[in-house]
Amino acid sequence: MLKHRLFSTAAAVVLGVATLAGAARAAGPQVVEGPGALPECFKPFKADTTYFQWKAKPGPYKIALANGFVGNTWRIQMIKTAKTFVEAPDIAPDVKELKVVSTGTDVAAQIAAIDNFINEGYDAIVTIAVNPTAFEPVIKRANKKGVVLVPFDNVTDSKEVMQVNEDQLEMGRQMGRWLDKNIPSHTGKILEVRGLPGNSVDRDRHLGFREIMEASPNKFEIIEVVGNWDDGTAQKVVADAVAVHKHFDGMFVQGGSTGAVRALMDAGHPFIPVSGEAENGFRKLCAEHEKDGLKCASAGQSPGLVAISIKAAITALKGEKLPQYISVPIPYVEAGQFKDNENYYSTLTDNFFTPNEFPPCNVNIKGTDIMAKTEANQ
């Protein structure tokens, strides 16, 4: 009898632990069958991407942005975009508070900031991860508390958290397809201006571009230079390439597009088809000189990713299904589509990143509104 009672007590303890573990898991995302909410906006990265669903919470929600490094134009614009987006008429009713913290490049400091937000009862945290491999413990802590954690741009290696990014491989393909179609001679030399060596974004855009160009029935010779995604560097290496090769029939620029086009102009090189990033300066040149023969396509990694991440977090908090890894539509315009104060801004600096329009997600934030904000913590 005593033995039976001891067994029953042990079984109850095990059952209790299992129940608690189940309850802990239930607070976080559950793997479910797709499709998910707003599939035209929240597209799965791959056909086999899993779907998550959180238990619905009533709003409005407390949302935090746990940024790391803030010392470049892209990051500054990203923070300003977040502050602008939560004031949009269709988003503001769902947001009780937006808290922004930038912690620098210290991984421990960023994780500590996320932990603080979890402990302070924030409903969702969006973040640009300083390190792709160090976040597993804090992801588990967020999931246990039912906090929707959304890494974007610099994402993590985890499959236990919802993440948001653009498809860099597809962006390279997109630029390759446009150039292949728009070079009148369907042959000749192409100048490829690559990004920062060793970076996965540079690698993926390059591979996507070469995949298209090498499969094309048109025959091109591709000359490759390194521009480091920097206007000054890109301008110099393009000038050097023109000095050596004399003539190019098209150009693909991963970043530093404004400098690359200015190098062609300074050298007196005839205007050619150019597929480039989404710097405001590049789009201004494309619009200004389209009548002179400069034909452009422009796509890029947008600071507006933060808006999609916040929108995904709010959608998840409402109990909707979403892909574990969301592929954001690539913001893209080409010759004939450049419009001042819509997809470029003649009154803003060249370094402003223009694409903040994501029509499939009903996100279109004006550059003038973004630049009126501050990047300071709040």
What are 124's strand-pairing partners? 63, 148
- Nearest C-alpha neighbor of 231 from the set 342, 54, 350: 350
- The DSSP secondary structure of 258-323, one letter per residue, reads HHHHHHHHHTTPPP--EEE--BHHHHHHHHHHGGGT--EEEE---TTHHHHHHHHHHHHHTT--EE
For the CA atoms of 28, 64, 366, 265, the dihedral, rounded to the nearest 10 degrees, stands at -90
For CATH 3.40.50.2300, the residue range(s) in the chain are 29-166+303-330+353-371, 168-299
pLDDT score at 224 = 98
- Hey, what are 319's tokens? 């109990």
- Hey, what are 132's tokens? 């792709």
Residue with tokens 């001042």: 340
Task: Write the CATH number of the domain with boundaries 168-299.
Answer: 3.40.50.2300
CA–CA dist 256, 315 (Å, integer): 35
pLDDT score at 331 = 84
- Could you tell me if 172 and 205 are in contact, meaning their C-beta atoms sit under 8 angstroms apart? yes
145 CB neighbour count, 10 Å cutoff? 16
The CA–CA distances, whole Å, from 83 to 76, 92, 219 equal 11, 11, 47
pLDDT score at 24 = 41
For 186, the 3-state DSSP assignment is coil
Report the length, in residues, of the chain. 378
The burial of 350, by beta-carbon neighbours within 10 Å (0-12 exposed, 13-18 middle, 19 or more buried), is given as middle
CA–CA dist 83, 102 (Å, integer): 14
pLDDT score at 10 = 40
pLDDT score at 17 = 36
Each residue's pLDDT expressed in tens, for the chain with a length of 378 residues: 333 333 333 443 333 433 333 444 457 999 999 999 999 999 999 999 999 999 999 999 999 999 988 767 788 899 999 999 999 999 999 999 999 999 988 899 999 999 999 999 999 999 988 888 899 999 999 999 999 999 998 788 899 999 999 988 999 999 999 999 999 999 999 999 998 787 767 888 999 999 999 999 999 999 999 998 889 999 999 999 999 999 999 999 998 999 999 999 999 999 999 999 999 999 999 999 999 999 999 998 889 999 999 999 999 999 999 999 999 888 899 999 999 988 899 988 898 888 887 888 988 888 888 988 988 887
Q: Which pTM value belongs to this model?
A: 0.74
Residue with tokens 């000189």: 289
Which superfamily does 29-166+303-330+353-371 belong to? Response regulator (3.40.50.2300)
pLDDT score at 26 = 57
CA–CA dist 26, 15 (Å, integer): 16
Q: What is the largest CA-CA distance in the chain?
A: 98
